[in-house]
Structure 1
Amino acid sequence: MIIPADGPRMELRHLRYFVAVAEERHFGRAAARLHVVQPTLSMQIQTLERELGGLLFERTSRRVELTEAGEVLLVEARRTLAQAERAAAVVHQSLSGQTGTVRVGFSGVAMLSGDLISALRQHHDTYPNVEVTVQELAPLRQAELIGEGSLDVGFCPRSKFDPDIHCRTEKISAIRLIAAIPSGHPLASRATINYTDLNRKQVIVYTHDDVEDLSLEYIRSQGQEPIVVHRAATTLGVLALVAAGLGIAVVPDTTEQIRIPKITFRPLLDPEASVDLLLLSRAPETSGAVNAFLAIARAGISL
């Protein structure tokens, strides 16, 4: 409904009826164009004229002509209807995810797994007008920012999240864990590695905001107690310490794609040696652009 400054109230349908009569110069043809009966159309135009306080048409037996006030209203009515159609189109694009912004957080492991890259590529192909920003963040930080509303989506390995953080987690895939060993280390000559081989060995682990590293949990779950000598917040940091000969690390197998000298990768024999890759989001999510991105990310889930 439109409320002009001087008080009269008009509805968009009144303006559509008015424009049809103004363009057809005939109530019968305008009624047929609008798919309404002529008496209904005449009544709506009379209602509009009463609201505005004057005649909009001069009626004759054969046709109708616009009054001066009608000519003025025709210009404004066309402008108003066009703006209303544009507003509806823009809102539809937003709700359907065709426009807007998606803010994505990710850990290095998620990028190497291919899940993030695949989601970004397919989303851009489907929704090229949506702006997507990406930022490398530790898992806990991703969850915190999503809970605060300053991040929309996260990709990260399973972590110990604060239960008070309002963040939804979904498993995307499982990433195998392997051993990253300094090339000069005695274990580097082995074809495969058991968790028992890591007992009392110097290891390098991840640290995510002081949360205990997941790979360390796996080692300890096998009854082994390694010696933690260093911690690093990122995969590249962990691998840098391994390459420097400072210890062994249990890392996702996707890290083999990173060619770093003086590191030997070896598979772990334990069939349970894996870590879940998670998709983080809000629940419920009201942004059409974010929901469209999440739909694409979920469609690519390979469990």
Structure 2
Amino acid sequence: MTNSLDLEHLRTLIAISECGGFGKAATVRHISQPALSQHVRLLERALKRKLFERDGRNMRFTPEGERVLAEARRIIAAHDAALHRLEATEDRTIVVGSTEHSAEQLLPEMIRALEAAFPGATTRFEIGRSTRLADAVHRGAVDFAFVLDPSGQGAGHLVGTLPLVWYAAPGWTPPAPGETWPLVAFEEPCGIRERALSTLAAEGHVVEVRAQSTTLEGVLAGVRAGLGVALIPSAGGRQSGLTVRGDLPDAGTTHLRMVARRGLDDEVERAALDAGVTFYSQRPHLQLVATSIVQGA
């Protein structure tokens, strides 16, 4: 039997449990999967017991592994509590994701909230499309992210709704009856793109995606060039150099959700959601639909 246990190896064991697998745990621990597997092997060698067994294509804890996991949680909790009492906690990095649509308005609020709740913590931002951000959260590469959910059926905490606004270049005129309507949109898959197509089609218009992009700036550039109209979620303010087309059919709203990685500190998750709620409560034109985390949701 070993005389000591490596704390990093114990943290790896806890991460595997919280993330539900080796791959996601490696991402959260910021190490390669072979390195993570080596942590497990070294623990098994030191304790002279098998911690995992194969269950089909997956790995699960053995009864002995569950015992070691329980002890690991107690050891790490006591260790981290001692560091906190000694004011010697390690540097903390919180990775925040946001869609381009809400980043400019929402992220400053997030910076202030996280700085107040976790003084000295480093905040890193990932800006991108909702599908990519949700996948990054699922993999553990991003702690939490604010993503768009046009269907209203997505996972995570429902924060609020964003109005969908039609934009066109100044002087743009709608096509004549019977002519094709040009649309500028995000590349598929994109729920907002589908909403734009279905909204115009419901009015009897034949629609053609004239230009598409993977980024918001690309979509806006196409609209500014007069290539067509675009449907854009609005988190406040107007897109410069473009005209709001209030004469086009109402496309409704899209939901904004906050998704958090498995195992994220409850305090971080609560501070992030509270910041999102604060952002909405200060903007009467946006609909506030959630005010707190549902415990265990």
1:266 maps to which residue?
A: 245
> Please, what TM-score do these two structures have when normalized by structure 2?
0.56
Q: What is the CA–CA distance in structure 2 between the aligned matches of 1:213 and 1:103, rounded to whole Å?
A: 25
Q: Displacement, 1:99? A: 6.2
In 1, Cα distance between equivalents of 2:198 and 2:86: 51
Q: 2:118 corresponds to which residue? A: 127
The two structures, once aligned, show a CA RMSD in angstroms of: 3.9
Query: Is 1:116 matched with 2:107?
Result: yes
Determine the C-alpha separation between the residues in 1 that align with 2:216 and 2:79.
Answer: 47
Show CA shifts across 1:191-234 (max 9, x none).
xxxxxx99831011112xx3044243244156144211111122
- Aligned pair 1:205/2:185, yes or no? yes
1:37-64 Cα shifts (integer Å, max 9, x gaps): xxxxxxxxxxxxxxxxxxxxxxxxxxxx
Give ranges in structure 1 of 5+ residues lacking alignment: 5-84, 189-196
Correspondence for 1:142 among 133, 136, 139: 133
Matched-pair contact (CA < 8 Å) for 2:195–2:251: no
| Counterpart AA for 1:90 | L
CA deviations on 1:114-142 (whole Å, 9 max, x unpaired) are 33332222221332211110021211111
Determine the structure 1 residue equivalent to 2:42. none
**Corresponding residue for residue 172 of structure 2:** 185
Aligned to 1:144, what secondary structure does the other structure show? helix
Q: Tell me the equivalent position of 1:175.
A: 162
Q: Is 2:214 the partner of 1:233?
A: yes
Q: Alpha-carbon deviation of 1:89?
A: 4.3
Distance 1:160 1:274 in 2: 10
Deviation at 1:292, TM superposition (A): 4.7
- CA separation of 1:216 and 1:100: change in aligned 2, threshold 3 A: same
- Please give the residue correspondences for 1:21-100 in structure 2 after superposition, counting only pairs within 5 Å: 88-91=81-84, 100=92
- After TM superposition, the score normalised by the length of structure 1 is 0.55
1:159-213 Cα distance to aligned partner (Å, 9 max, x none):
679x9xxx9422222111121112232249xxxxxxxx99831011112xx3044
- Partner Cα distance (1:198, 1:117) in 2: 46
Q: Counterpart of 1:257 in 2: which secondary structure? A: coil
* Residue segments in structure 2 that go unaligned for 5+ positions in a row: 5-77, 281-287, 290-297
Return the index of the structure with the highest Cα Rg: 1
* Conserved? CA contact 2:260–2:269, under 8 Å: no
Is 1:101 equivalent to 2:82 in the alignment? no
Deviation string for 1:67-117 (max 9, x for gaps)? Answer: xxxxxxxxxxxxxxxxxx9953435799xx9962210111111214x3333
The residue that corresponds to 1:287 in the other structure is 265
8 A contact 1:109–1:255 mirrored in 2: no
Report Cα offsets for 1:226-249 as digits up to 9, x if no partner. Answer: 211111122221110011111111
Q: 1-side partners of 2:150 and 2:96: how far apart?
A: 18
Match for 2:98: what amino acid?
F
Alignment CA distance shift 1:186-1:132 (3 Å)? same
Query: Is 2:195 aligned against 1:214?
Result: no
Q: Whole-Å Cα distance in 1 between the matches of residues 90 and 250 of structure 2?
A: 43
Task: Assess if the C-alpha contact under 8 Å between 1:179 and 1:251 holds in 2.
Answer: yes
User: Is the contact made by 1:285 and 1:291 (CA closer than 8 Å) also made in structure 2?
Assistant: no
Other structure's SS at 2:184 match: strand
Alpha-carbon separation, structure 1, partners of 2:253 and 2:136: 26
Q: Are the structure 2 counterparts of residues 142 and 264 from structure 1 closer, same or farther at C-alpha, using a change threshold of 3 Å?
A: same
Question: In 1, are the aligned partners of 2:162 and 2:256 still within 8 Å (CA)?
Answer: yes
Where 1:267 maps in the other structure, the secondary structure is: coil
SS of 1:245's partner is: coil
